[in-house]
Chain A
Amino acid sequence: MKRFITISLSIITAVMILAPYPVCAKKPVKIGVLVPLTGIAAQGGLEMKYGIEMAAREKGTVLGSPIKLLVEDTQVKPPIAVSKAEKLVYRDDCKALIGVLSSGVGLALAKNINKLNVPFLSTHVMTTKFYGLHPMVFRSGQLANDQTAVGNVKGILARPDLKNRTYYVLVHDYSWGHDAGERFIALAKKNGIKIYNENYDKAPIKTKDWSSYISKIKASGADGIYMAFITNVIPVFAKQAADFGLQDKVKLVSAAAPGPLELEAGGTACHGIFGVSDWSWDVNNPTSDDWEMRFWNEYKTIPSDAAVHSYVGAMNLFNAIEKAGSTDAKAIASALKGISYDGPYGTVRISAKDNCMRNDAVLTETMAASDNPFGATVYMKVLHTFPAAELGPPE
């Protein structure tokens, strides 16, 4: 008996020593964040990262486990983004992927989603190809190209200073730019807005000197420019257009919201840019105002559209994991369908029909800012709010 007790105690002691950590230290739920932190869109990527980090911090836990974000730099290069996604899923065991700024990168990831077998929620990709693309691929911000085109065309038609102009369409030469240009031209023509170049011009992403394009626009006689550029190029183009004296003669309408830091850098040259967007810090409601200050206090960076819709997208993903009740890929994907989050720009609902979000949006014009907590000198003034149903697409 004595021997039996000794052996039993030894076994129990050994089991206690060798057993894994106690259950109270729960394994974190890992989420892979894919954003550009180097390259042309690095500033936008950093703001997206801030938004997602802020959401994770405020949410705290999902399924009783802490949220762990693993951030990787896509460099806005599809092959690099895919290999980073593979690393996040296969090696780091991430249960979902979030972020992605560029449509080219987003489409490349979507193409590989069967292999990756985790839900992928973009918080920035604007291409219309994302509608119903794959049961595991979702968009929660920002506005898609068709929604932007509807907002911008409605905005142009509503404003006498924009309506009776001929628009020169100039886009960045990649999938998002092409899609944005085509969507706008088709809708503008249908609504009687004059387009100078229906076969719109495509500028390489690396273009630094826009003088040839500006000379071409001058020669065309067009008095409006519809531009679809990666956000931080908008002030660069606007600045050079102003250098050539176009600012007083030509109105600029943008398919993408310019980033606030870039607007600051561009200064007065960036005044007078119109465009529809999810949000601007000029959106005044208690949730938005509170979010702005929380963001500002944390990062000391002017709150941006990229940050806010990444925050909202992350909240939608975290809530979907909780709703799913597990980290099973199919369960999360199923929970994302139809989920919604009430945030700084109202309700953002991911359509159960096509996996892409519907939300209200604002038409803005950039202009000199009055006193504000962020010290901004240029801001996107809200001219009009579009209800989600008005921007579509119908479900």
Chain B
Amino acid sequence: MSGTLGIIVDITLNSLVLGGVFLIVAIGLNIIYGLSRIMNMAHGALYAVGAYIGFSLVASGLNFFAALLIAPLIVGVIGLIIERTIIAPMRKRSMAYTLILTYGLMFFLDGSIKYIWGNKPRFIELPEFMQGTLPILGTDYPVFRLVTLLLIILIMGALMLFLNKTKIGIILRASSTIPEMVSCLGVNMSYVHMGAFVLGCVMAGLAGIIAGPLTTIDPLMGGEMLISSFVVIVIGGLGSLRGAVIAALLVGGVQTLAEFFITDLAMVIVYILMAVILAFMPRGLLGEGKFE
């Protein structure tokens, strides 16, 4: 039986892990929306594709960490193909076209997943050292979840460095607020949009392989995560990176607390939170319609 401190540690870590996964998925979605004004309805399906590819790579004998690098890259390549063949030709049309197209793509990817991997749940085999629990402040917490938390921090740190300190990152950010100026400076906006879409897809794939061992891999995981990540970006503010960070941690925390204390209403509470925030802040916590 866990003591009070153990319970607090458990809840805190569970909140951070859940919020962290929401964050990685939502950030990917936000990058695509913030830079390209595309609401990618297939983002959840790409997250699931990342998880399944990760599963197959590990099942074929590849090290988990190698799969963690390769699976998102494969999803990125899939994203590149999607962007060049489906999204780019529609870019000049209204957002509704890409919304419908990506919605159709979601069904195609979901169907492909079922065709290739079937319906049964899959679990990613973890390296020996990541199995078992670690005693922390009165509770035994799974090592894998702690590693997941560390990975999420590293991924977010790397993303921030990329966006703030690299030339490509600076171009991406500038393209969100002053695309005309960026274009005048000789930057090909088509490549910017392509880069944003691929980066968003890589994030989805990364979240998929991270979430795989944490929960389970099944054909429904994408649709459910898409809804959760929508909640996160709506609360945080469409296009806002900082807003997504706050919102993901808030949603993860509220959902975990609700599941612990008011189990029967756990799912409803998150939507009530969203409704309350939108009632007072219609553009979300930090939403300015800009990617920042």
Residue ranges of B at the interface with A (Cβ–Cβ < 8 Å): 1-2, 6-7, 10-11, 14, 17-18, 114, 118-123, 131-133, 139-142, 144-145, 214-216, 218-221, 224, 255-256, 259-260, 263-264, 266-267
Decide: A244 near B2, CB < 8 A? Known: A213-B263, A261-B120, A265-B120: no
Q: Which of B122, B145, B263 contacts A243 (CB 8 A)?
A: B145
Per-position binary interface string of chain A over residues 107-119, scored 1 when its CB falls under 8 Å from any chain B CB and 0 otherwise: 0000000000000
Let me know if A240 is at the binding interface, CB within 8 A: yes
Residue ranges of A at the interface with B (Cβ–Cβ < 8 Å): 38-40, 42-43, 46, 173, 201-204, 206, 208-209, 211-213, 215-216, 218-221, 232, 235-236, 239-240, 243-245, 259, 261-262, 264-267, 269
Q: How far is the CA of A236 from the CA of B131 in the complex (A)?
A: 16
User: Nearest Cβ in chain B — how far from A110, in angstroms?
Assistant: 26
Which of B10, B120, B224 has the most chain A CB atoms closer than 10 A to its own CB? B120
Contacting pair A220 B121 (CB below 8 A): no
In the complex, chain A residues whose CB is within 8 Å of the CB of B131: 243
User: Nearest Cβ in chain A — how far from B117, in angstroms?
Assistant: 11
Q: How far is the CA of A46 from the CA of B119 in the complex (A)?
A: 9
User: Nearest Cβ in chain A — how far from B107, in angstroms?
Assistant: 11
User: Nearest Cβ in chain B — how far from A216, in angstroms?
Assistant: 5
Q: How far is the CA of A239 from the CA of B267 in the complex (A)?
A: 22
Q: Beyond the given A208-B221, A211-B17, A235-B121, could you list 9 further A-B residue pairs with CB under 8 A, ordered by the A residue number?
A: A42-B219, A43-B120, A204-B266, A211-B14, A212-B266, A216-B259, A239-B123, A245-B142, A262-B120
Contacting pair A208 B224 (CB below 8 A): yes
4 closest residue pairs by CB, A with B: A212-B259, A221-B1, A42-B119, A215-B10
Q: Which of B119, B120, B145, B267 contacts A204 (CB 8 A)?
A: B267
In the complex, chain B residues whose CB is within 8 Å of the CB of A267: 123
Q: Which of B7, B141, B264 contacts A173 (CB 8 A)?
A: B264
Q: How far is the CA of A218 from the CA of B140 in the complex (A)?
A: 10
In the complex, chain B residues whose CB is within 8 Å of the CB of A42: 114, 119, 219
Contacting pair A208 B215 (CB below 8 A): yes
Decide: A209 near B219, CB < 8 A? Known: A215-B7, A219-B6, A220-B1: no
Contacting pair B214 A206 (CB below 8 A): no
Q: Which of B114, B120, B140, B260 contacts A245 (CB 8 A)?
A: B140
Q: Which of B14, B132, B219, B267 contacts A215 (CB 8 A)?
A: B14
- Nearest A residue (CB) for B110: A38
Contacting pair A208 B144 (CB below 8 A): no
Q: How far is the CA of A157 from the CA of B140 in the complex (A)?
A: 30
User: Nearest Cβ in chain A — how far from B5, in angstroms?
Assistant: 11
Q: How far is the CA of A220 from the CA of B7 in the complex (A)?
A: 10
Q: Which of B11, B17, B121 contacts A265 (CB 8 A)?
A: B121
